[in-house]
Chain A
C-alpha cells in the first residue's frame, strides 16, 4: 500500500515537472531575469529534476512540507491552502456516503423481500435511472427547480452559514451526489439478499422456529452486507470525483474548484498536493474497508484456520 502511494507520488511528481513547456516563471514579462533566477533558486527549480524530487520528498516526510503555492496563492504553503478546502469537500462527500449507505441498504432490502412485485419493479426502474443519469445532470435539475424556481434552497453555497444553515445550503449538492450511490447500493444489496434468502441457512433458521422476518433480519441482511464492502470503495471514489463537478456547479470552495484552477493556473505544487491527497484518501478507504471486513466477517478475522 505504501509502495503504491510512493509510486503515485513519484509518477505524479515526474509528470508534473516534466510537463512540456514547464519552465516556471521563465515567460513572465513582469520579472527581470535576475528575479526569476532568485525565485527559481528559492523553489529549487534550477536543480535537476531528480534532485528536486529528493528535496520534495525529504520536505514532505520529515517536515510535512508540501511545498509552496507558486501562482494561485503566491507564497502560501500548500498545506495551508489544502487545510481550508479539505473540510468543505470531505463534509459533502462523507455526508453523502452516510446518507447513501443506509438508504441504499433499506431500499435494497425492501426490493429483495418484495422480489418480483410492483415495489421491486419500481425500485429496479428507479435504480437504472439513478445509475444512468450523471450526478451533474441531477445537480443542474435541482439547482434550476428547487433553488431557482421554487426558491427552497440557495442557488450557490453560502460560505458564511454554519450548523443547520450550512447543511441547508449544502443539501442540494449532497443530494445530487447521493442519487447514484444510493442506487448502486440498492442494486447490489437486492441481488445479494435475494441470493442469501434462498440459502440453506435461511431455511434452517426457519425450520428451527424463527419467523421469516426474524430469519431475514438476523441471518439474511448481515450476511449480504459482507460483500457490500466491495462496492463501497469504488463508490466513495465515485462520489469524490463527482463532487469535483458538483462543487463547480454550486460554487462550493472545495477541492474540486481548487484542482481545476490549480491545473489551469498552472500551480504545480498545488496540483501535485491535491493529486497526492486524492490518492491518500482512496488508499485510506481501501484500508478502512479491509478493516471493516475483519469486523463483519469472522472468517477473515480469525484467518480461516480450519480445525479438523
Chain B
C-alpha cells in the first residue's frame, strides 16, 4: 500500500481544520509501520481516510491511497465495503466503547463473517471460536455467549482483535490499541499483535503517541507533527540516528529508569490547526529553529536510503547542530547495552 501526498480537512464551527497536510508513506507486505505523534497530529485521521470512515464533515482534499492497484481515496462507500474487514481491518483504541454493549461478543465476531462473507451460522461460530482461541481468550465456548461488560479490559481488546482478524485481512491498522489498558496488560497485547503478525504474515500500521511502545515492534517509524510526517526511517534510524528536532524532543521525553535525569517535556502547545503559523509548524516550539523555518516549510530531505526528515538543519548551509547531549548520552548507552545483549 502506498499513500501519496494525502490531505484531509474538516469543516468545523470555527473554520476549516487541515488535519492532514500532504502525508506520504508506503507499507510493504509483512512490515510493521509505526506512526508516532502527539494527539491532534493527524495520525488517526490518516487511518480513517484509508478505511473511508472519516466523519461526515471531513473530506480528502488531495492525494491518493493506492492499494492493490486501486485508489482508495476515490472509493465510494459501496466499494469500501469490499475492502473493510476483508483487506484492511482496524483495532480500536478503546475496546469498551468499540464493542456493542448489548450484543454477545460471539455474535459480534460472527456478524462480520455471516453478513459480509456470507458464511453459514455454524461455520461462522466454529471460526469465531478458533479466532477467540488464537487471540488467547480462555474458555471460548462460555465466553462466546457473554456480553462485553463481563470481560476485562485486556480481554475486550482481544475480542476487538479477533473481530478485526475475522475476515482474514492483509493489513491491520492498530489505532493506539494499548492506550486504554493497564501497563501490565499493554505488554501482553503487544506480544499478541506481534505473534499474530508472524503467524498470518500481516502488514501492520501501528498508531501511537508513545515511542516507547513501538521500540521493539516496528520495522519502520514515521513521526508526525501537525498533519505532516517530519521524519521517517527504520526503527534504528529513528532511535539511534534521529535528525529532526521534534524527534529529539519526543525521544527525550521517554522516561528513562536507568538514570536520575529529570523528565524532559516538549515546551509550548500544539499549533492551532485552523490558523497554522507560516513556515514550519513546529518552529515556535523548536529550540533549533532557523530563520528560514519561520518563512518556508522545509521539504523532505534524504538522510540515507531508508531515512528522511523535513528540517532545514539538513541543508548544506545550515549550522551544524548536534542533538541535545542528554539524548546523545542516552542513545549511546542504549546502543552499548544492545551490543552487550547481542553478545
Contacts and interface: CB of A to CB of B under 8 A. Distances in A.
Contacts of B85: 207-209
B137 interface: no
Interface stretch (B86-94, B212-220, B227-235, B306-314): B86-94
Interface string B86-105: 10011010100111111110
Nearest to A116: B56
B19 interface: no
A226 B102 CA distance: 9
Contacts, number: 91
Interface of B: 51, 53, 55, 77, 81, 84-86, 89-90, 92, 94, 97-104, 111-112, 115-117, 146-147, 149-152, 160, 163-164, 166-167
A210 B107 CA distance: 13
Contacts of B151: 307
A226 B115 CA distance: 24
Contact of B147 (A207, A208, A298): A298
27 contacts: A199-B97, A201-B99, A201-B100, A201-B101, A203-B90, A204-B90, A204-B98, A204-B160, A204-B163, A207-B51, A208-B89, A208-B116, A208-B163, A208-B164, A208-B166, A209-B81, A209-B112, A209-B115, A209-B116, A211-B77, A218-B111, A223-B101, A226-B102, A305-B150, A306-B150, A307-B151, A307-B152
Interface in A162-213: 198-201, 203-212
A154 B167 CA distance: 61
B51 A299 contact: no
A28 B151 CA distance: 73
Nearest to B165: A208
A27 interface: no
B150 A223 contact: no
Contacts of B86: 209
A207 B90 contact: yes
Interface in A142-166: none
Nearest to A300: B102
Given A218-B111, A299-B101, A206 B53 contact: yes
Contacts of A201: 97-101
A302 B99 CA distance: 17
Interface string A259-303: 000000000000000000000000000000000000011110010
B294 to A, nearest CB: 39
A207 B146 CA distance: 22
Given A204-B99, A219-B103, A299-B147, A210 B116 contact: yes
A296 B100 CA distance: 13
B101 A306 contact: no
A48 interface: no
A204 B92 contact: yes
Nearest to A218: B111
Contacts of A204: 90, 92, 98-99, 160, 163
Contact of A307 (B97, B116, B150, B166): B150
Contact of A308 (B152, B163, B167): B152
